Amino acid sequence: MADEASQATAPDSIIDPISKDPPRHGHLDLLIISFALLFFELACIRWFGSTVVYLTFFTNFVLMACILGMSVGCLAAGRRRDFAGAVIPLTLVSVFLAFRLLRAFLFDHMSINVGDQSSPQQVYFGTEGGRGGFLTGDLPIEVVAGGCFAMITLVFVGLGQVLGRAFNAVPNRVAAYTWNILGSLGGILAFGVASYFRTSPQLWFALGLAPIIWFVRPWYWKLVQAAVLVFVLVLIGRTTALDEGRGREVIWSPYYKVVYHSDSGTIDTNNIGHQAMVVLENGGAAYELPYLLNRDAGGKHWDDLLIVGAGSGNDVQAALLQGAKRVDAVEIDPVLNELGRAHHPEHPYDDSRVHVHLDDGRSFVRNTSRRYDAAVYALVDSLVLHSGYSSLRLESFLFTEQAFADVRDKLKPDGVFIVYNYFRQGWVISRIAAMAERAFGTRPIVISLPYRAKITPGQNQAGAITLLMVGKDDAALAPIRARLERENFWLHVSPKYNAGVNAFGTERPKVAGTSPEHWRKIGLSKVEGESGTRVPTDNWPFLYLRGRIIPWLNVRGMLIVVVISLLVLRLFAPSRTFRPNGQMFFLGAGFMLLETKGVVHLALLFGSTWVVNSIVFFAILVMILLSNLYVLAVRPRRLGPYYALLIAGLLINIAVPMTRFLALPGAAKVVVSCAVVFVPIFFAGVVFATSFRDSARPDLDLGSNIAGVILGGLSEYFSLVVGFNGLVVLAIVYYVLSAVLGSRQRGKPLPTVPA
């Protein structure tokens, strides 16, 4: 137990003296706190990421804050001061600060700066409004993320302390860990159900925080905690209300906070403008541009179309207006699709020619048996990370060389692949063009609106939409290329005037009712690439990262995490008596990288949908549960064989690229890929459970393990340099260190622990 001097280091002034009695119901306490911890962690990742402006791109900060708080809380389990009573009041403070940030952004025109987005190392769509730091009144995103990190960490300290005390109260460590996993499984399952039914954050916070009242005493303090929780829920409701009213509706999809503006037909996601539903007869001519080019050049009519990122329906409507006979519309977010069905002024989703698929685009392309005249990536920009475990965006696996090859294989012999978006930077465009040429073996057509004869890597393309077209063979786009090489194409801003005219020519068309300035010049853009340009691959799927580097913005964020972590440890951990368990620390670091690799691997194979993510996390917990049951039944004493099997499994992950699994038939792909991902997790679980079984201080050892997860979370940034297979190498290093330190620890006398 901590001595009196170390107890004096705690910030006692911020918490109320609650009961110092040990847990009363060991197994039940473990089940309750484990459920609450995982459910509330997921709620914080979703809510803070969608409420605090631009934090949606840095949700791993929220994840690491939750983990750090749990770790420090476990380390403080032996402290006399009880931190559980501070959880709900600190949550109220955190929610209030998030509320004020959102209000300032929406109504006071506060600007949050996300690096230099005029010439960035990494592009974050929708964040271009920043003006450059404190001197101009902006708030840097690292300050915002750091503040959220600190507050969420403090919230989770009390939860972690309850967890550590509950572990101390159960003599059989492995049985205790089994109850912990069962509670966590309940938490992730409950949050999955809550996401499926699109429940509000008020329900999330109620279910995540109410269980903490069970752990505070005496009875009147429970009433105080319940009253404060009511204030938390009211404030969360007020935060949502900032986006509601005056023609605005808030819907919580499994991916975003979606705000629909009925007066303008626009849709915001996580406080960033995302898309607008338009009447194509009056605007949005760019949606029809590829069809008009093909029509006026005399190309083969595109009857069968695939549209990935169909959203609320503009791209689908453009295809219908140009005579498509079948459109497969793929959209990952059901809420965006439903808004289009209900509110798009031209109701494209009501057309019998349209077939909607609520799926990840890469997964659909890989699994469909149809062949298409044209496949379209329609303004695909998710504006959200795939999960809190990695730096992947939701659409990252759509923009890799292998993904483009998948599209190529689903085209008819004379089929065409079309990509368009506001890509922001010239180097992003040159990378897409290089990727298309490598995957298709033909030279793409690149067009910029407004017209630019040349696109250089350092060119800022903000405000310009770029269209790229590449054919399965050279003949597919030969008519369009030939016409554009000798004359211009002209696009009127009102699509209705493009219907009855062949717009190729050296001069603007003369159409009654139009004026010359409304005809936009369309021509070929020459794309210059950077020397040594690396195209994204399934191992390194970072289209919007300029090079294999950790951007300085991320480095500053990592430093903030380290500094705040040290400060929180100094405040709460029993620093004068605590000696970290190196074996458990590096087990935690390695396991975090295992989880990250597993989530990314299975997202590539089965899609980046929230359902797949939930199943993966659930399966990981089940595998840990199985490893616990194995340890209870077999009672292993020597860890060497299990470390060896773990490292062998990781070496197989390195030796066999993820793309190898894509070629396997359905059942084999599931079995083999899951074995490669989950078998190392099983052996890691056996090592942890066996080591934890022999622990004299489960609270401190669990705290050391969770602290190692922070190192693993920070190490994930190295995937930006070495790719995801490189993370497996780093995980092997961590597990080797764990084995070495564990052998030294096992050389010391072990306490007697009940079986």
Query: H helices of 138-198, where?
Result: 141-168, 173-196
Which bin fits 185, alpha (ψ -120 to 50), beta or left (φ > 0)?
Answer: alpha
- pLDDT beyond 70 at 744: no
- Per-chain mean pLDDT for the chain: 87
Specify the pairing of strand 526-527 against strand 248-252: unpaired
CA distance 470 to 448: 15
Question: Is the peptide bond prior to 536 cis by the omega test (within 30 degrees of 0)?
Answer: no
pLDDT of residue 126: 82
CATH number for the domain spanning 337: value is: 3.40.50.150
CA 720 to chain centre: 15
> Nearest-5° angle of CA 472, CA 473, CA 476?
90
Note whether 215 and 299 are same-domain residues: no
Judgement on whether residues 131 and 45 belong to the same structural domain of the protein: yes
Q: What is the pLDDT of residues 664-680, one digit of tens each?
A: 776 777 787 788 888 99
- 334 assigned to some structural domain: yes
- Name the band, by pLDDT with cuts 50, 70 and 90, for residue 137: low
Lowest mean pLDDT among 12-26, 423-437, 628-642: 12-26
Least confident of 30-44, 434-448, 579-593: 579-593
Which pLDDT belongs to residue 610?
83
Q: What letter represents residue 91's amino acid? A: T
Count of domains for the chain: 3
Reported confidence tier of residue 20, pLDDT bands at 50, 70, 90? very low
- CA-to-CA dists, residue 6 to 49, 280, 408, angstroms: 35, 69, 64
Q: Report how far residue 734's alpha carbon sits from residue 708's, in angstroms, rounded to the nearest whole number.
A: 10
Q: How confident is the model at residue 729 (pLDDT cuts 50, 70, 90)?
A: very high
DSSP state of 524: -
10-19, 213-222, 335-344: lowest mean pLDDT where?
Answer: 10-19
Confidence (pLDDT) at 3:
36
Please determine, for residue 4, whether its predicted confidence score (pLDDT) is greater than 60. Answer: no
Whether 312 shows a pLDDT value over 90: the answer reads yes
Same domain membership, residue 305 and residue 250: no
pLDDT band at 1 (very low <50, low <70, confident <90, very high): very low
- pLDDT at position 283 over 70: yes
Q: What is the pLDDT of residue 16?
A: 34
DSSP state of 652: H
Asked whether residue 289 carries a pLDDT value surpassing 60, the answer given is yes
Q: Would you say 566 and 149 are in contact if contact means Cβ atoms under 8 Å apart? A: no
Report the C-alpha dihedral over residues 59, 64, 67, 72, rounded to 10 degrees.
-140
Distances (CA, A) of 155 to 92, 166, 181, 689: 10, 18, 22, 27
118, 197: one domain:
yes
Residues 640 and 692 in one domain: yes
Residue 5 is assigned to a structural domain of this protein: no
Structure tokens at 500: 């009855």
Q: Which residue has the higher pLDDT, 305 or 573?
A: 305
Quick one: pLDDT at residue 718? 93
Q: What is the pLDDT of residue 745?
A: 63
Task: Look at residue 754 in the predicted model and tell me its pLDDT.
Answer: 33
At 598, the pLDDT band (50, 70, 90 cuts) reads confident
Q: Which of 424, 457, 436 is nearest to 528 (CA)?
A: 457
What's the full length of the chain, in residues?
755
Same domain, 237 and 302: no
Which residue in 157, 169, 227 sits closest to 12, CA to CA?
157
The tokens describing 154, both together, are 């403090």
E strands in 149-256? 248-252
- Residue 672: predicted pLDDT: 79
599 shares a domain with 565: no
> Once rounded to an integer, what is the mean pLDDT over residues 635-663?
86
pLDDT number for residue 373: 97
490-549 confidence digits (pLDDT tens)? 999 888 888 888 999 988 998 888 888 889 999 999 999 877 678 999 999 999 999 899
Same domain, 219 and 347: no
Instruction: Describe the crossing of helices 141-168 and 59-75 by its angle, rounded to 10 degrees.
Output: 30
Does residue 544 belong to any structural domain of this protein? no
What pLDDT, on a 0 to 100 scale, did the predictor assign at position 575?
55
Q: What is the mean pLDDT of residues 32-43?
A: 95
Q: Are 69 and 94 in contact (CB under 8 A)?
A: no
> What's the CA gap between 207 and 35, in Å, rounded?
10
Q: Sign of torsion, CA 180 181 183 184? A: positive
Residue 15 — very low, low, confident or very high, per pLDDT cuts 50/70/90? very low
- 23 CB-near residues (< 8 Å, 6+ apart): 29, 162, 165, 166, 168, 169, 215
Position 62 pLDDT exceeds 70: yes
How many whole angstroms separate alpha carbon 119 and alpha carbon 354? Answer: 40
What's the whole-model pTM score? 0.90
Q: Look at residue 131 in the predicted model and tell me its pLDDT.
A: 41
Residue 35 — left, alpha, or beta (φ > 0 → left; ψ -120 to 50 → alpha)?
Answer: alpha
| Residues 195 and 223 placed together within one structural domain of the fold | yes
734: part of which helix (H) or strand (E)? helix 719-746
- As a whole number, mean pLDDT of residues 638-664 equals 85
Neighbouring residues of 413: CB distance < 8 A, sequence distance ≥ 6:
472, 473
Q: 559: Cβ–Cβ under 8 A, 6 or more apart, which residues?
A: none
- Of 185-199, 310-324, 629-643, 671-685, which range is least confident? 671-685
Determine which helix (DSSP H) or strand (DSSP E) holds 139, and give its type and residue range.
strand 139-140
pLDDT of residue 578: 59
**Residue 301 covered by a domain:** yes
Please give the backbone phi and psi of residue 469, each rounded to the nearest 5 degrees, phi first.
-130, 130
**Cα–Cα separations (whole angstroms), residue 439 to 330, 401, 454, 526, 537:** 22, 6, 23, 19, 11
pLDDT tens sequence across 346-395: 999 999 999 999 999 999 999 899 999 999 999 998 877 776 667 788 89
Helix H or strand E segment including 446: strand 445-449
**Are 343 and 202 contained in the same domain?**
no
pLDDT tens digits, residue range 320-345? 999 999 999 999 999 999 999 999 99
pLDDT at 14: 33
* 545/20: higher pLDDT: 545
The answer to the question of residue 394 being in a domain is: no
- Is the separation of the CB atoms in 216 and 85 below 8 Å? yes
How many angstroms separate the Cα of 187 from the Cα of each of 31, 572, 618?
10, 26, 10
- Tokens standing for 489? 């194409």
Residues in CB range of 30: below 8 A, 6 or more apart: 163, 166, 167, 170, 176, 179, 180, 183
pLDDT band at 711 (very low <50, low <70, confident <90, very high): very high
Residue 77 vs residues 9, 343, 368, 531: alpha-carbon distances, Å: 14, 54, 53, 55
pLDDT tens readout for residues 426-451: 999 999 999 999 999 999 999 999 99
Kindly state the greatest CA–CA separation across the chain: 95
Residue 632, token pair as written in the block: 């209870």
Tell me the CA distances in angstroms from 106 to 44, 147, 685, one per residue in order: 21, 19, 46
Would residue 309 count as lying in a domain? yes
Verify that 102 and 137 share a domain, yes or no: yes
Give the range of the structural domain holding residue 427, as residue numbers without chain letter. Answer: 276-381+401-527
Residue 3 maps to a domain: no
Rounded to 5 degrees, φ, ψ at 615 are: -65, -40
pLDDT at 23 over 60: no
What angle (nearest 5°) sits at the alpha carbon of residue 203, between those of residues 200 and 204? 90
**pLDDT recorded at residue 9:** 33
Checking if the pLDDT of 686 tops 60, the result is: yes
Cα distance between the two ends of the chain: 23
Spell out where 262-303 has E strands.
Answer: 266-269, 272-276
Asked if the model's pLDDT at residue 230 lies above 90, the reply is yes
User: Quick check: 650 pLDDT over 70?
Assistant: yes
Beta strands in 182-285 (DSSP E): 248-252, 257-261, 266-269, 272-276
Question: Which pLDDT does position 8 carry in this prediction?
Answer: 33
Residue 505 lies in a domain: yes
Looking at the structure, tell me whether residues 312 and 178 fall in a common domain.
no
pLDDT band at 235 (very low <50, low <70, confident <90, very high): very high
| Tokens describing residue 560 | 């903030």
Lowest mean per-residue pLDDT among 208-212, 543-547, 559-563, 665-669:
665-669
Q: Which pLDDT band, with edges at 50, 70 and 90, does 569 fall under?
A: confident
